Structure 1
Amino acid sequence: MKAVSFIGLMCVFLSVPCVPAAMAEETPIILSIHTEQPQSSSENSILPVRMTLSDLRALPVASFETTTIWTMEPQVFSGVWLATLLAHHGITTGTLELVAINDYRVEIPVNDVYPGGALLAYERNGEEMLLRDKGPLWLVFDWDDNPAYRNEIHYSRSIWQLDRIIVKR
């Protein structure tokens, strides 16, 4: 007689789909958001949010075509407005520290983030961006439609291989 595990029996009786942990495929976390509170705050000092690509795709999608100083021809970027992401998580004040996989960091005051401004792109030209292609996330601006973005501040804020946002209050 074949032995049946307790978990297997529970899955049958509860009609719950069970996949052994070794067989379950984990969806990678591509963005974490941490909120740092002041030392005098009684709240936790860091409250993490971890997002997968599916989590980001569940938010309203925005797209535009623009040229960049890092690519040869116009590119179509798709993703979520940074303002939408912040609103989704209730982030309305402070300074954002955006951090790339290679530890490159930029700061953006939350007051500088508005709808139609910075796009957190997860696709370029209809394809998910791989790590070697500045992905999986690249913060971009529509430099062609808004000349106000064609300056050193916005070029430096266009961080690629973004994987963390730290909200400093």
Structure 2
Amino acid sequence: MKRLPAIITLVLSLCSSLATAAPAATLTIDGNIALTNVAGKRQFEFRDGDLKALKQTAIVTSTNWTTKKTFRGPLLSEILSKVGAKGATLDVCAVDDYCYNVPVSDAAKYGVILALSSDGKDLPRDRFGPIWVIYPRDDYPGVLNSATYDARFIWQVTRITVK
């Protein structure tokens, strides 16, 4: 019986460390795309390693929810190119089913990234992760610092539908 508290302590410790670890990022792209990798479905799935294997771009900016930070992740335009996306808008959706329309043109025009990290640390789910749409807001203060663009800083992204 003396071992039971030690085992419980160990299990609780392991559960606690797993809860604080950054979750693996999975992103599904569907809709009007040319390249798919899911059998029987018109979609392309990027796993955490797939996203991290893409060239990582840094954006140093503040957001309405953070001070100035260095965000890193693949360019949205590169991801769209990789799947052969053809469309004018993107429905970018989060884990809680929040979706917002983002013009495809924003990707190249502003160099939008899908941030996987902030100041060198993976984005945990409770801090906007594991995937967060980041615009270089501080580089375009008269344009990107508005309610229109604030709504496009979508966090906990799981799916993008190309329309």
TM, length-normalised to structure 2: 0.74
The answer to whether the Cα contact below 8 Å between 2:25 and 2:131 also exists between their aligned partners in 1 is no
The aligned amino acid for 1:33 is: I
CA deviation vs aligned residue, 1:23-63 (integer Å, no higher than 9, x gap):
xxxx95611111159xxxxxxx9511111111011211100
1:15 alignment partner in structure 2: none
Paired residue secondary structure (1:114): helix
| Structural RMSD (CA) | 2.1
Deviation at 1:133, TM superposition (A): 1.0
The answer to whether the Cα contact below 8 Å between 1:106 and 1:157 also exists between their aligned partners in 2 is yes
Give the length in aligned residue pairs: 134
The aligned amino acid for 1:32 is: T
Deviation at 1:94, TM superposition (A): 3.4
2:6 alignment partner in structure 1: none
2:97 alignment partner in structure 1: 103
2:46 alignment partner in structure 1: 51
In the alignment, structure 1 residue 90 sits paired with structure 2 residue 88: no
2:130 alignment partner in structure 1: 136
2:27 alignment partner in structure 1: 31
Looking at secondary structure, tell me which structure has more helix per residue: 2
**Distance change in 2, residues 1:118/1:29 (3 Å):** closer
Q: Kindly name which structure, 1 or 2, has the bigger radius of gyration based on alpha carbons.
A: 1
2:20 alignment partner in structure 1: none
The aligned amino acid for 1:30 is: T
The answer to whether the Cα contact below 8 Å between 1:35 and 1:46 also exists between their aligned partners in 2 is no
The answer to whether the Cα contact below 8 Å between 2:106 and 2:112 also exists between their aligned partners in 1 is no
Paired residue secondary structure (2:151): helix
CA deviation vs aligned residue, 1:81-112 (integer Å, no higher than 9, x gap):
11111111111323210000011110012233
TM, length-normalised to structure 1: 0.72
CA deviation vs aligned residue, 1:119-138 (integer Å, no higher than 9, x gap):
11001110111111110000
1:8 alignment partner in structure 2: none
The aligned amino acid for 1:112 is: D
Task: Find the aligned partners of 1:118 and 1:32 in 2 and give their Cα distance.
Answer: 18
2:147 alignment partner in structure 1: 152
The aligned amino acid for 1:34 is: D
1:81 alignment partner in structure 2: 75
The aligned amino acid for 2:89 is: T
Task: Find the aligned partners of 2:84 and 2:32 in 1 and give their Cα distance.
Answer: 14
Instruction: Name the stretch that deviates more: 112-121 or 90-99.
Output: 112-121
Deviation at 1:115, TM superposition (A): 5.6
**Distance change in 2, residues 1:46/1:150 (3 Å):** farther
Deviation at 1:117, TM superposition (A): 2.6
